Amino acid sequence: MRILISNLKGKELLDIAMKNRIEKLISVYTNYNETSLLDQYMMKENIKISTTSAIEASKQLTYIIRNSKEEGNEIFVATDGNFIGSILNFVANKEGADHIYYCFNDQAIQMPKLSINLSKTKMKILKTLEESEQTAILIGKNVGISRAMVYKHINSLMEDGLVGQTKQYEKYYLTNAGKMVII
C-alpha cells in the first residue's frame, strides 16, 4: 500500500497524493483536525502529536513510520517548515522513507534521501551517554575503546551537535539532537 504521512493541508497535499496514487493518508497535526478533499477518496487516519517536546514528537513519528514500513508499505512523507513538519522530515530521513516532499510557497519539492551515517562505536557512545553524563575515561570503559579514540569520536559527535560538554569540561552529555538520533 502507498501511504502518505503528512502535516499538510490543502492543494500541495492533494497534488502529492494524486501524483503518487496514494491509497492511505496519515495526517499528523498538533492543534486541530480538519477534513480535506482527500477524505472522500482514500482511507485516512488522524494522529494528534500533543507535545511541544522535539524528543517526544520524534518518538511518536518514528513509531508511525516504522510500523508503516514493517507492514511492507511504500512510505511517502510530505511536510512544511513548521514544528511538526521539521521533526517529521528529520524522522522520515532517519527511518528511510521511500519518498520525501517538502512544501514551500505553494510548491512541493521532492527531496533527496539523506542518511545519518554513524559508526557502531559512535552509536555506542551515544547510547552510553543516554544513561548519564560521563567523563572520557568512563565512556572508554563502557564502550571498550581507548581514551584517545573516545576524544576522536567525541570531537566528531560534538561537531555534529549530538554531544555536548559540561561547563566544567569534565563530562559529556547527549544533546536533544543526539537523543533524536538514537530513538
- Residue 120: band (very low, low, confident or very high) from pLDDT cuts 50, 70, 90: very high
Least Cα distance to 94 among 5, 4, 181 occurs for 181
> For a pLDDT cut of 90, what percent of the chain falls above it?
68
pTM (predicted TM-score): 0.80
| Mean residue pLDDT across the chain | 90
Are residues 150 and 128 in contact, defined by beta-carbon separation less than 8 angstroms? no
pLDDT per residue over 72-113, tens digit each? 999 999 999 888 999 999 999 999 999 999 998 888 889 988
Least Cα distance to 97 among 20, 176, 18, 14 occurs for 20
Other Cβ atoms closer than 10 A to 137: 10
pLDDT given at position 106:
81
pLDDT given at position 44:
75
Secondary structure element (H or E) that encloses residue 49, with its range: none
pLDDT per residue over 150-171, tens digit each? 999 999 999 999 999 998 878 9
Cα 181 to chain center, whole Å?
7
Cβ neighbours of residue 32 closer than 8 Å, sequence gap 6 or more = none
- Residue 31: band (very low, low, confident or very high) from pLDDT cuts 50, 70, 90: confident
Complete domains list, the chain, with CATH: 2-111 (3.40.50.10770), 120-181 (1.10.10.10)
